[in-house]
């Protein structure tokens, strides 16, 4: 397996151990012998064979001379081998010579030349994963836009090699589980690097897909931070907070660098933009830590997985878990408040939500539910015992996933056909009751004007 996300220096050191040193190259050249002549060739074939033998002997002599004259001088070695390749561009020793030039060029910190010859090796042998990885690293750090595009292509090649790898090829010292974990780590790492390359190329859509795939393969702070930065560029503050908080909870860079201080500053800046102060940020970060830890636990089957319509869902009543088929609400207008116990703004919304629900208590065609989205459901019963909400509380059980709820509180109104007719991510405490009341009236009674008593639910 590859150790892809090492630092450049450790990656290069790893690759250097794979490269042939020059004395070995010289020894291999010395042991080369011309092809044997046919026993009874014709005159033309005999002359051709003699010429081929002469050329092979001259090539061997020139290579030995190039290496001997360079001695321990790496710069001279690169010059001499370069000159040799110009004279013998189709030499059978090319793979070994290319590797020797790569090794010497890295030692000399001549990274453009190292990149050129590493890519030549990849062109000769596309299955050489270690040299492909080295080419990606060199192009990533020292390449231009054209080089980054080639590195993107190489990443695809490595991903394909990983996809085709099999437990049958693993080292006997690795268990099947260890092999699988290593493979997931490597796939995640390659996707992360390719995402970074796409970002350098200003292809944010492709970068986002790779960062999401990297995180899905194996949760990692670097992918989460990149996703947070992209969300912030799009002014999606809730998503930026979610991703930055994930990154803050993961200290997995593996390079001795702790990014928490910088991440803390990013989170604080975005939180203040979204909430005007840092109130509630501590609780949010604690929840993010718990959520990230839960994601690392063995996956449980997702409730209502694969269903595509709200009426198909069977959720549970909170906190006892009694089943609640949403099919029973079909034909009615359903108002959903998605919340979590750790969410301060959710507590603030609840009395406004209850007041609107009380206003419609006489309308049997309008139903109100609170949908709890906590990962740790053990927190729900004590919360409900303390807060005593007046509306029916259900566990979301995947309905938040279906409706793409990524921030709390989120209010959704489903029309009589089960389609989303209104959505609000967050709320304004000064007019939430008026806005929500008017939205419900429009959905429940589209052909009627505002009810005379609608103002009762308004501040």
**Which residues form the catalytic set?**
343, 346
Residues in the chain: 459
With H, G, I as helix, E, B as strand and everything else as coil, classify residue 353.
helix
Residues 6+ apart with CB under 8 A from 175: none
Residue 369 to residues 3, 20, 392, Cα–Cα distance (Å): 49, 69, 5
Find out whether 4 and 186 touch, Cβ atoms under 8 Å. Answer: yes
Eight-state DSSP code of residue 304: T
Tell me the β-bridge partners of 153: none
Residue whose C-alpha is closest to residue 381's, from 343, 372, 293, 390: 372
Strands 314-317 and 323-325: antiparallel
Give the Cα separation of 169 and 295 in Å (integer). Answer: 29
Alpha-helical (H) ranges within 251-343 are: 260-275, 281-296
Residues 6+ apart with CB under 8 A from 261: none
How crowded is the C-beta side of 130, counted as CA atoms within 13 Å? Answer: 13
Alpha-helical (H) ranges within 71-175 are: 74-87, 94-107, 111-124, 129-142, 145-164
Tell me the β-bridge partners of 367: 334
Give the Cα separation of 303 and 399 in Å (integer). Answer: 9
């Amino acid at each position: 397996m590859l150790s892809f996300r090492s630092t450049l220096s450790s990656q290069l050191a790893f690759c250097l151990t794979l490269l042939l040193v020059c004395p070995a190259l010289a020894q291999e050249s010395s042991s080369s012998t011309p092809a044997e002549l046919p026993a009874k060739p014709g005159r033309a074939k005999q002359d051709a064979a003699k010429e081929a033998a002469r050329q092979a002997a001259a090539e061997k002599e020139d290579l030995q001379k190039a290496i001997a004259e360079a001695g321990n001088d790496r710069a001279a070695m690169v010059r001499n081998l370069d000159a040799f390749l110009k004279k013998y561009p189709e030499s059978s020793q090319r793979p070994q010579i290319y590797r020797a030039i790569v090794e010497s060029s890295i030692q000399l910190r001549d990274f453009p030349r190292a990149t050129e010859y590493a890519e030549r090796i990849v062109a000769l042998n596309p299955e050489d994963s270690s040299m492909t990885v080295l080419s990606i690293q060199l192009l990533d750090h020292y390449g231009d836009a054209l080089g980054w595009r080639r590195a993107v292509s190489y990443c695809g090649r490595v991903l394909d090699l990983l996809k085709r790898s099999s437990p049958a090829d693993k080292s006997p010292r690795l268990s099947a589980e260890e092999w699988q974990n290593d493979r997931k780590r490597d796939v995640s790492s390659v996707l992360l690097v390719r995402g970074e390359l796409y970002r350098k190329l200003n292809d944010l859509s492709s970068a986002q897909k790779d960062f999401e795939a990297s995180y899905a393969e194996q949760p990692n702070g670097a992918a989460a931070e990149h996703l947070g930065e992209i969300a912030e560029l799009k002014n999606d503050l809730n998503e930026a907070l979610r991703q930055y908080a994930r990154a803050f909870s993961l200290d997995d860079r593996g390079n001795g660098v702790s990014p928490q201080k910088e991440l803390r500053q990013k989170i604080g800046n975005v939180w203040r933009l979204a909430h005007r102060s840092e109130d509630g940020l501590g609780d949010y970060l604690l929840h993010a830590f718990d959520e990230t830890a839960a994601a690392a636990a063995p996956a449980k089957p997702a409730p209502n997985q694969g269903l595509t319509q709200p009426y198909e869902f069977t959720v549970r009543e909170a906190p006892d878990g009694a089943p609640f088929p949403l099919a029973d609400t079909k034909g009615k207008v359903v108002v959903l408040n998605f919340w979590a116990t750790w969410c301060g703004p959710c507590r603030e919304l609840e009395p406004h939500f209850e007041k609107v629900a009380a206003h419609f208590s006489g309308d049997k065609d309008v139903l109100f539910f609170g949908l709890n989205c906590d990962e740790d459901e053990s927190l729900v019963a004590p919360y409900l015992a303390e807060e005593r909400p007046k509306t029916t509380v259900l566990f979301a059980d995947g309905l938040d996933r279906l409706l793409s709820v990524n921030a709390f509180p989120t209010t959704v109104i489903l029309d009589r056909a089960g389609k989303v007719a209104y959505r609000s991510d967050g709320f304004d405490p000064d007019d939430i009751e008026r806005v929500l009341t008017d939205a419900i009236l429009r959905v429940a009674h589209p052909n009627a004007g505002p009810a005379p008593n609608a103002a009762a639910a308004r501040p």
